[in-house]
Structures are given as C-alpha cells and as structure tokens.
Amino acid sequence: MKNKVVFIIGTRPELIKIYPIIHRMKQVGFNDYLVVNTGQHKDMLEPFWEAFSIQPNYSLDVMSAGQSLSELLARSIVQIEQLIVKMKNDMVAPSIFIAQGDTTTVMAASLVAFYNKIRFFHLEAGLRSFNMHHPFPEELNRKIAGMVADFHYAPTQFAVDNLLNEQIPMVKILKTGNTVVDAINLIRASTAFLNVLFEDERINAVITNKQKVVLITCHRRENHEHLNNIIEAVGELAIKYPDICFIWPIHSNPVVKNAVVSSKLSQLSNILLCKPFNYMELLKLLSCSYKIITDSGGIQEEAPSFKVPVLVMRETTERPESMQSGYSVLVGNIRDKIVDAFVNFNPEYPTNAENPFGDGNASDRIIEHIKTQL
C-alpha cells in the first residue's frame, strides 16, 4: 500500500485555502496526496474544482434536505468512515488527514481520523473567539479538531499562543501564515483576474465609472434574527451617501435571501442587490471597494491584501489580528452602531503596510513539514 496525505474538503473556503498547497505540490513534483470532496457545500464548490485544476479522487454526499447539524455530523462521520474502507480496498493507506478550518466536515474528519488512528493535521489551527455561540457552531468544531489533532498549522502568532495556552506543545505547532494570502497572490497574478467581467452588467458599469463601492455580505446564523437591523442600517447609509454604490450579493440561505429580497432596499437607486459572486469576482470587487460591511470570517482575512477597511457585523472575532492592524472594527448587528462605525472608521494604510495574515509563503512551509512526515 502507498502512504498518502488525504485532503478532506467540504466547503468553498476550505478549497480556496487548500488550493495553493496543492498547486505548489504539483509544481515541486509532490504527488503523494489524494483529495476528498464531502459535498457539504456541493453547489458552491462545483465551479472551483475546474477553476483550480483540482480533481477530487473521492466524492461523498453528506448533505440532505432539511437536516440538522447533528444529522450532518452523523452522515459525515459515517461516510468518511466508509471512505477509509474504500481507500484500503483501493490499496491506499491514508497516512495523514488534513482539513482546513472549522466546519462540520473538519470536525468529522478529525474524529474519524482519531478513531482509526490516522494522524490528523489541522490547517488554520488555533483560531478562537472564546465564545462557544459566536460563531456557532464553528468555535466548537475547531476546538474539537484541535483536541485530537496530531499537528497544528497555525496562521498567526495569536493562533500559536491560543494553542500553547491549551497545553499543546510547541513541537506540534508550526506558524505558517494563512494560505488565503497565497491563494490571493496566485489569483491576482492571473490574466483571468485582470480581465474579470461580472455577470451583472450593472457592476461592470459601476467599476468602469470608478464609482465608490461598498461591498456587503451577510450569512451567519447568529445574524438571522437581526437581519432587519442590518437591512435598516444599509438603507440609512445609502440615503446618507447617495454617491456610493452599495453592492450586496445575497447569500443563498433562504432566511437571508427572503429577508433582503422582501425589504425595500431595491427601491434605492444606489443599492445593487445581486446573486452571489464566484471567488474571482469577489476578489475583483474587494480590490475596487472603498469599505466592506460583512459578518464573514474569510473577508476579514482577504481584505488586508487589498488594504480595504472592514466593518465586522459580529460580537466577537477569532481574527483579532485584523483589528489590531487597523483593518477592521467590530460593529455587531445594531443599526446605529453599524451606521456610526461606517461614518467614523476611516483608516489609511501605507503602501508597504504588513499583511497581518502572512507573507504568501504559507504553502511552502506546510509542504516542507509534510515531506518530513511520510
């Protein structure tokens, strides 16, 4: 049997952050890896496999309509367990499982690896909000993954310190930087990025006319009951700043989608509601944005590469590096607080400002460590 590193991927952010590692592995001729697609975000993942030239070796089907988080976890554990049997029948020895972040896919992969005495390496380890309900259920997911992990790829010193405080020895931790910086650097250097055209012609016109743009994204469960506050804040800002175009790609979650679509935001001429972006479009809009209003964890990491300030619609964040570097501010989900922060948070960044999430060489550091483990 051939020992293999197995990347377990279930969501779009996981693929985006694992992509530069696989890309670099191909460049250096490292072929002892397999890719598993659990299908947790199947539709959102689909276009990225081809875009990143990655072909999953195994595909699971963990999603079922209307299932609870408990049911998703149960299906994920069972199917990953069955996957190990299939791999062994295919004469593959899964030597190391690697999963990125804090989704149900990650927690399930870590538990199945532990039960089967397969080493589990956690990518983007050590993030902590210190609040089990914000974000929910991600804080629990990553803590459980961290408890059973054999090795921790920590993106920042804050993440390293969190792991050390949990009595994880430094010999099991590597500070790498965040691979999203590697991914952004790869994408920005591509011809496709330079020539991005949005499916929505209204956005192309806004960018061509160099109008000030504010990007808005909202999807977190914690904000579902506060969507009206957020919608009212965006409406107030649009009225207050008629020369700014507020672009809101509406998340596919029906709770979010119904609330935004049924609101009166579309009646304001400088608010543009649209379908979710692909990743290339998202990065292009980030590069053109004046400010960002979001509850996304990923955008907190991506915005510093473009030196764009972020208003984070959350009570806590597991990415304080962005705040400490002056790139973001927590605004919660209260209407007045969002509006006040938008008016008053106006940082400026020197052209040589250091990215708090790394230098773009995280993938090399991770691969060099993996080579020593097979």
The catalytic residue positions are: 102, 124, 138, 219, 221, 251
Q: Residue 36 region, left (φ>0) first, then alpha (ψ -120 to 50), else beta?
A: beta
The rounded distance, in Å, linking the Cα atoms of 153 and 157 is: 11
Backbone angles phi, psi at 35, to 5 degrees: -120, 130
Angle at 219 between CA 214 and CA 221, to 5 degrees: 145
What b-and-e string marks burial along 321-357, b requiring 16 or more CB atoms within 10 Å of the CB? bbbebebbbbbbbebebbbebbeeeeeeeeeeeebbb
Instruction: Decide: 216 and 293 in contact? Cβ < 8 Å.
Output: yes
Interhelix angle 201-208/279-288, nearest 10 degrees: 30
The rounded distance, in Å, linking the Cα atoms of 293 and 123 is: 27
Angle at 303 between CA 339 and CA 367, to 5 degrees: 150
Identify the bridge partners of residue 214 per DSSP, sorted by sequence position.
246, 291
